[in-house]
Structure 1
């Protein structure tokens, strides 16, 4: 009978160990921060492999035509345009340059949007276009959400601005077993840096990765119970066999 009690106790402890405490799942419960330290501003910094749409406009429509060339595909037999023309895009190469019509190569990696607009205006005005208005957007701004979330995947962000909380929302929120201390992988220079963000702490609002950048990877690690559960599921057949043997032994011992 004592052996039966021990087995029941072990099962009870195992069940308790797999439970998730409230303090492990509630967001924003720790560490108050001063509102003055919370920044609501975000500035895009261009990087290699960004695909840019650059639109130049001005009163002189003819003057801006060379800088707004449409990207088209021609039929090889008739030499006619196939499909609908779209705005020309510029890929930042691994050295940080783009090739812009008439001007040539411009190094823009590492610059903010406002800095690139200023640079282009200096190159265009007054030799090519007087008082140009310049609009720049990233066509391939995306983030990736992996791990213990309900909808992992790669997401395109058309407005180029997303917080880590919005990313968690895009991923369908963390599952109940997701660790609230998550990782953000960010390419900076020639290396990948890893940042830790604790969703239980209000300090996340002052984190350097509160605003995500293009190509950031958000990874949510499963908690210990979920990891163990995955291991158990892979060995379900073995556990059933062991359970059958244990039940048989218990029956013999309790006769």
Structure 2
């Protein structure tokens, strides 16, 4: 009986240890109680890059004075080939040199500016074309901010960012969060800089230092890829629940064998 009892105990310990180890891979920000989050203080502002689409409006107390700077587009053709008669503000494409072609003024270099900096620059540019009593208000919005999340998440998707600010946590949540087979310690972030050069960095969702990372907030056109775990890549299509059943059946079988041996003796 002792010969059967010892292997049984070892099996139970191994299963319990494996379960604990697997659990430690799942929770986010496991060391948050020991991490100084003061470094994350501050509000993030996105910077304008080539190929961004900007919507720019100029407002004054006299609408006629601002009208030349607010070009609109009308009579556009839809995807089905039908003609629509609505109008909308013209969007400005930032070219590869970081410039936009603005009405009356001409080329304005906006690459690298934050939204507020761009608004201040355009305001100063339009002031000479208005009377001294006019105080123009400029609003700049980014019409092309989006990020892409793919891999082991609830649903891969391209996410439009209306607020011009999104963290990696928000992006993953918008994509349905990581699946049980997603590698939480090896999130791949691919980013393209203003010159078109692509870079990548690995993020660890189990480490609370993520909140202090310069990559916590995403930039336009960032790509997040969640890699599958080793279990998933090896074709373990039985699923987590089936694996647990097999473990349970193994334990029950071992217990039954032990009882049979005891009763026979």
TM-score scaled by length of structure 1: 0.77
Measured after TM superposition, the shift of residue 17 of structure 1 is 8.0
Counterpart mapping for 1:35-184 below 5 A: 35-73=37-75, 82-128=84-130, 130-181=134-185, 182-184=187-189
Q: Which moved more, 1:16-25 or 1:191-200?
A: 16-25
CA RMSD, 1 decimal: 2.5
Q: Retained in 2: the 8 A contact 1:70–1:87?
A: yes
1:199 aligns with 2:201: no
Change (3 A) 1:230 1:138: farther
Number of the residue aligned with 1:244: none
Number of the residue aligned with 1:237: none
Change (3 A) 1:227 1:74: closer
Give the Cα–Cα distance (whole angstroms) in 1 for the partners of residues 84 and 27 of structure 2.
Answer: 54
Measured after TM superposition, the shift of residue 40 of structure 1 is 4.1
Give the Cα–Cα distance (whole angstroms) in 1 for the partners of residues 159 and 222 of structure 2.
Answer: 11
Number of the residue aligned with 1:27: 28
Q: Retained in 1: the 8 A contact 2:37–2:212?
A: no
Runs of 4+ in 1 over 3 A off after TM superposition: 16-20, 230-233
What's the CA shift string for 1:188-208, capped at 9, x where partnerless?
133111121111010000111
Change (3 A) 1:230 1:143: farther
| Structure 2 runs not aligned, ≥5 long | 1-13, 78-82, 240-265
Measured after TM superposition, the shift of residue 180 of structure 1 is 0.5
Change (3 A) 1:84 1:197: same
Measured after TM superposition, the shift of residue 82 of structure 1 is 4.0
- Secondary structure of the residue that 1:144 maps to in structure 2? strand
Number of the residue aligned with 2:6: none
Q: Retained in 2: the 8 A contact 1:150–1:175?
A: yes
Give the Cα–Cα distance (whole angstroms) in 2 for the partners of residues 33 and 121 of structure 1.
Answer: 43
Change (3 A) 1:168 1:94: same
How many residues are paired up? 215
Change (3 A) 1:95 1:18: farther
Q: Retained in 2: the 8 A contact 1:20–1:177?
A: no
Measured after TM superposition, the shift of residue 119 of structure 1 is 1.1
| Structure 1 runs not aligned, ≥5 long | 1-12, 76-80, 234-255
Q: Retained in 2: the 8 A contact 1:18–1:225?
A: no
- Secondary structure of the residue that 2:235 maps to in structure 1? helix
